[in-house]
Amino acid sequence: MSVERRGRVYRRCSCRDKAGKQLGRFCPRLATDGKHGTWYFAVDLPATTEKRRTMRRGGFSTKSAASRALADVTNRAASGVRIDDRETVADFLARWLQVKVGEAKPTTLRSYRAHVENVIVPAIGHMPLERLRAEHVEQLLTDAMHGRGPVTVRRIHATLRSALSYGVKTRRLPFNVASNVTPPNGARPEVHPWSAAELAVFLRHVETDRLGPLFEVIAACGLRRGEALGLRWADLDLANRTARIRQTVVDVGGRLEFSTPKTRSSEATVPLTERAVQALLQWRLGQDIDRQAWGDAYEDHDLVFARENGAPLRPEYVTRRFVALSRAAGLRPVRLHDLRHGAASLMLAAGVPMAIVSKMLRHSSIGITVDTYGHLSEDTARTASDAMAAALEQAFETTAAAAGDHTATTAGAESTSQAGRSPKSTGQGGGPRGDRTHNPRIKSPLLCQLS
């Protein structure tokens, strides 16, 4: 037996004496046969109660393997990390999800559960948490790519990384093994929303539909579906044509709930177009009629867009209605969310800077805007490039004309002054001043290349 830091490494076997009692470390063969038995370690851990805890683990084929395992345990304990090599990844994730119930939004929690239950646990849930390594995470992501897109796999990776970060924060893990794993490239797919002409056809088609004003506001303001459905009259300032995004409607297992906007930057004030204001005024007239018809049975949530009885509209119903109306209008199929993309494309086409578009859409960073709409700004960039080239060409023409006038003036002055000068005094005839004579008609090499 040898001592390793605060623990010990020893060898034992499963041989038994005549009475059936296991010999363990006292088997005589251990002293004569170096290959007999297997290696174990034992270490005293910090007590969580008044009783001392001793961890004993075995089955190692060599003393070195047992020593490395012991060193790993003692290092974790010394750094204040809680030791529990019986807890599996599945057990840890279940505990993490319980914590997120009180922190995450319902839709985010639902996404976490789907990733954990459908992907992560079936793949690595059986593993002891403390034996989880980066290579296991890499294999998980590789296997997850079958039948899934890179964006989905990146979200799965983000879920596991978030859970393991919680483990580090609570001193359950010494480090996050998922942090240094690079997920597959999740470049955002290019969006191809309706053109201005197509959008006009759609909005004209839905003018007589009950949800027409809703689609008008989404398209004009670039709102997300849940944001539009959570809009309240108290959030509107029609006189100044603004709307404050304060809440969103989400479907949690078939139950509609009010939640906060997607991100902190999403909770902001957005401007309303004149068309959107007119659509809202039209909608309010119809809603007043509904409120009178339902009387005391009307559910008054102060919602702008609601059902006839005032209850929140179901997001999936709004999407189905949008698809049906766009098909009836004879337009190419796009998603309801593409009305938001369309608002961005129209702003970019009008020459609005990318930074302003990002602010209008309330993205958390301009990088998201560039990744999503960078290709839509190509025409705008081309227009800017042409404008720059035109300005440069105009500058060349102006400087060339000025250079021509200067040449004519200089030539006249020289002919007048040379009439009374000798060749030496005028710098002609190969003298030193002749070497420095400058001809303004000769362009510099750089100017020749540009012109």
Query: How confident is the model over 182-192, as a mean pLDDT?
Result: 71
Residue 1: the pLDDT is 44
226-238: pLDDT as tens digits: 999 999 999 999 9
Residue 424 predicted with pLDDT over 80:
no
**196-337 CATH choice from 2.30.29.30, 3.40.50.300, 1.10.443.10, 1.20.1300.10:** 1.10.443.10
DSSP SS3 for 236: strand
Domain ranges in the chain are 2-78, 89-169, 196-337
pLDDT (tens digit, 9 = 90+) per residue, 352-401? 777 777 777 777 666 666 666 655 555 555 665 666 667 777 877 887 77
CB burial readout 45-59, b (16+ within 10 A) else e: beeeeeeeeebeeee
Mean pLDDT, to the nearest integer, of 417-436?
46
Is 433 or 48 the better-scoring residue by pLDDT? 48
- In contact, 348 and 357? CB cutoff 8 Å: yes
In this model, does residue 412 exceed pLDDT 60?
A: no
Residue tagged 């009387």 (tokens):
295
Q: How many CA atoms lie within 13 A of 158 on its CB side?
A: 13
Q: Answer yes or no: is pLDDT of 92 > 70.
A: yes
Q: CA-based angle 182:184:186, to the nearest 5?
A: 115
Give the pLDDT of residue 370. 63
Q: What's the token pair of residue 128?
A: 């002891």
The answer to whether 90 and 68 have CB atoms below 8 angstroms apart is no
Q: What is the pLDDT of residues 138-169, one digit of tens each?
A: 999 999 988 888 888 999 999 999 999 999 99
Query: Residue 440 pLDDT > 60, yes or no?
Result: no
Average pLDDT over residues 234-254: 90
What's the CA gap between 447 and 444, in Å, rounded?
A: 5
CB contact at 8 A, 250 and 225: no
- Give the pLDDT of residue 45: 75
Q: Using an 8 Å Cβ cutoff, are 8 and 2 in contact? A: yes
pLDDT band at 425 (very low <50, low <70, confident <90, very high): very low
Q: CATH topology for 89-169?
A: DNA polymerase; domain 1 (1.10.150)
For residue range 253-268, what is the model confidence (pLDDT) as tens digits?
788 988 887 766 677 7
Question: What is the average pLDDT value for the chain, to the nearest integer?
Answer: 81
Q: What is the structure's pLDDT at 449?
A: 37
Q: Which of the two residues, 433 and 305, has the higher pLDDT score? A: 305
Q: Of the given ranges (18-32, 51-65, 317-331), which has the lowest mean pLDDT?
A: 51-65
Q: In percent, how much of the chain has pLDDT > 70?
A: 78
